[in-house]
């Protein structure tokens, strides 16, 4: 069995770090956490040795006495799928699996307006902020994906494909954004958001985010820096 170490950034802000962390935690896959806070001395000191891309997240796995790095969230997800095929990281049904991979790739590459105007900030509450026409268009697309996915593949479960899988982990930071900025959502979308927030792996990440006190200015467009 490989020893896994996941290198992440601030839990309050790092949406990309959140995705593999909650997937591992929710599925009960053991791992060690290394947290490097953005704009910190430990980040400056350690990021180059932990991350080939100097970005997070990075998964390190120790196999046969060798340490190997896997960087980029989707690469980490695919690696975990190969390592733990019994965990249903992707849906077993081929059409569902193809849909899941497609919607995750769209999340990975798209929705830039939503990301830009509504950065993930779990501790904050900014209802109505960032709801630009472009962000609204992104939200409509996300809601349509969620609705079609749950209608075709949800099998009556609370998550996109019935049971929690990589797709739910990929969209978990969107759920966090919707909680922070409270854009208008359909009732079915709100129900899905509630299911994601109630997942034990997601709840554990939220608890960690709420304990943090750091302030990252680029992720706080609607707040003033704390007084020194």
Structure confidence by residue, pLDDT tens digits, 95-146: 999 999 999 999 999 999 999 999 999 999 999 999 999 999 999 999 999 9
- For residue 2, is pLDDT > 80? no
Confidence grade of residue 149 (pLDDT, cut at 50, 70, 90): very high
64 & 99 share domain: no
% of the chain surpassing 70 pLDDT? 99
Helices (H), 36-132: 41-50, 73-83, 94-109, 112-117
Chain mean position to CA 211 = 18
99 & 83 share domain: no
Domain end residue (candidates: 39, 54, 87):
87
Structure confidence by residue, pLDDT tens digits, 45-67: 999 999 999 999 999 998 778 89
Helices and strands counted in the chain (H then E): 9, 4
User: What is the pLDDT averaged over residues 142-152?
Assistant: 97
> Residue 31: which CATH number?
3.40.30.10
% of the chain surpassing 90 pLDDT? 93
| DSSP-assigned states of every residue in 174-193 | HHHHHHHH-----HHHHHHH
Rounded mean pLDDT of the chain?
96
**φ/ψ of residue 214, rounded to 5:** -65, 155
126 & 202 share domain: yes
- What's the CA gap between 32 and 182, in Å, rounded? 33
196 & 116 share domain: yes
The DSSP H or E segment spanning 23 is helix 15-27
7 & 65 share domain: yes
Residue-level pLDDT at 1: 54
- What's the CA gap between 69 and 52, in Å, rounded? 8
Kindly state whether residue 225 falls inside one of the protein's structural domains.
no
Domain span including residue 66: 3-87
Kindly state whether residue 160 falls inside one of the protein's structural domains.
yes
User: What is the pLDDT averaged over residues 217-227?
Assistant: 88
> Residue 137: which CATH number?
1.20.1050.10
- CB contact at 8 A, 96 and 161: yes
Kindly state whether residue 123 falls inside one of the protein's structural domains.
yes
Tokens at residue 112, please? 């830039």
Domains in the chain: how many in total? 2
């Amino acid at each position: 069995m490989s020893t896994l170490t996941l290198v992440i950034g601030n839990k309050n802000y790092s949406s990309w770090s959140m995705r593999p962390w909650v997937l591992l935690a929710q599925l009960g896959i053991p791992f060690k956490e290394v947290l490097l806070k953005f704009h910190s001395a430990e980040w400056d000191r350690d990021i180059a040795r932990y991350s080939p891309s100097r970005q997070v997240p990075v998964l390190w796995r120790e196999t046969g006495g060798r340490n190997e790095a896997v960087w980029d969230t989707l690469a980490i997800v695919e690696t975990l799928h190969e390592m733990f095929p019994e965990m249903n990281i992707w849906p077993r049904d081929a059409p569902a699996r193809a849909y899941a991979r497609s919607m995750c790739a769209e999340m990975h590459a798209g929705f830039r307006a939503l990301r830009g105007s509504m950065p993930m900030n779990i501790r904050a509450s900014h209802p109505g902020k960032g709801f630009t026409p472009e962000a609204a268009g992104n939200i409509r697309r996300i809601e349509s994906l969620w609705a079609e996915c749950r209608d075709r593949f949800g099998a009556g479960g609370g998550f996109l494909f019935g049971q929690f899988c990589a797709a739910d982990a990929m969209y978990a930071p969107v759920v966090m954004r919707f909680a922070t900025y409270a854009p208008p959502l359909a009732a079915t979308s709100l129900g899905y958001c509630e299911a994601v927030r109630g997942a034990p792996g997601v709840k554990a990440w939220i608890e960690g985010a709420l304990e943090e006190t750091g302030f990252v200015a680029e992720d706080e467009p609607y707040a003033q820096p704390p007084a020194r």
